[in-house]
């Protein structure tokens, strides 16, 4: 099943200094859309997880099909999505339509010191149904249906608004300890693709502006 795509950095990196070139966008699509309205969610520092409903059964995978999922996290995923009762919930919600829930596994043993949680858990950030990325409202509806968390929207605005927000070294809204977040992920309010059918989506990392 489909792995989650890579997310581009907002700005290019200088080949010599290795530092971000503030204002030089990584591609023409981002530059064209820079003044549009974007939704920015917290970027969680963890391990990428896929919950896959093929229309008949549920399975779990990491970023790649060969990736190993920690035992504690695997047990938590089974608790949330495994077994006959959960399969019936998937069938009630989606029928035989293929669905992938994309999220992040986090918690002690995945991050140093268990910044987000003393226990390993799962948080949802994206959903694809029949090759179509779902709206934020749909992602939140699905999270509510399964009783799981979803990454919070932190700000709404232009790409420059996102950069200025990150420059303030914002604290994580998810972490249980005072912790400067890894960064944010921006998506256009309306799902858009570039001429190569890649999503308009971008990451802005705090350390790049420290």
**In angstroms, rounded to a whole number, what is the distance separating the alpha carbons of residues 152 and 134?**
16
**Do 147 and 138 touch, CB atoms closer than 8 A?**
no
Q: Are 154 and 94 in contact (CB under 8 A)?
A: no
Nearest to 125 by CA among 177, 196, 187: 187
Q: Is the pLDDT of residue 176 over 90?
A: no
CA distance 40 to 57: 32
Query: How far apart are alpha carbons 177 and 106 in whole angstroms?
Result: 14
Q: Which range, of 58-72, 82-96, 103-117, 174-188, averages the lowest pLDDT? A: 103-117
Give the domain 8-44+152-209 fold. Dna Ligase; domain 1 (3.30.1490)
Q: Looking at the predicted structure, is the pLDDT value of residue 114 above 70?
A: no
pLDDT score at 131 = 87
For residue 115, the model assigns a pLDDT of 76
Outline which parts of the chain fall under CATH 3.30.1490.70.
Answer: 8-44+152-209
Question: How far apart (Å, rounded) are the C-alpha atoms in residues 21 and 43?
Answer: 21
177/4: higher pLDDT: 4
pTM for this model (two decimals): 0.94
Reported as type and span, the H/E element at residue 121 is strand 121-129
CATH number, domain 47-150, options 3.30.470.30, 3.40.50.1820, 3.40.920.10, 3.40.50.2000: 3.30.470.30
Instruction: pLDDT band for 116, please (50, 70, 90 cuts).
Output: confident
Average pLDDT, the chain: 93
Q: Strand, helix or coil at 115? A: coil
Q: Identify the weakest region by mean pLDDT among 54-63, 71-80, 113-122, 174-183.
A: 113-122
H helix intervals, 6-82: 28-33, 71-81
pLDDT the model gives residue 1: 60
């Amino acid at each position: 099943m489909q792995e989650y795509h890579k997310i581009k950095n907002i700005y290019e990196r200088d080949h010599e200094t290795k530092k971000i070139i503030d204002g030089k966008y990584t591609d023409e699509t981002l530059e064209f859309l820079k003044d549009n309205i974007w939704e920015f969610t917290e970027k969680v520092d963890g391990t990428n997880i896929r919950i896959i409903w093929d229309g008949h059964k549920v399975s779990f995978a990491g970023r790649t099909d060969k990736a190993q999922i920690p035992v504690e996290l695997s047990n938590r995923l089974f608790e949330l999505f495994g077994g006959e009762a959960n399969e019936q919930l998937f069938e009630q919600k989606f029928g035989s339509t293929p669905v992938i829930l994309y999220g992040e596994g986090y918690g002690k043993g995945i991050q140093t010191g268990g910044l987000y949680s003393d226990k390993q858990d799962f948080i949802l950030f994206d959903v694809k149904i029949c090759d179509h990325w779902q709206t934020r409202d749909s992602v939140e509806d699905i999270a509510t249906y399964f009783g799981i968390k979803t990454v919070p929207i932190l700000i709404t605005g232009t790409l420059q608004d996102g950069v200025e927000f990150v420059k303030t070294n914002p604290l994580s809204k998810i972490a249980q300890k005072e912790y400067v977040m890894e960064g944010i992920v921006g998506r256009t309010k309306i799902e858009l693709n570039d001429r190569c059918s890649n999503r308009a989506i971008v990451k802005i990392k705090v350390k790049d502006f420290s």
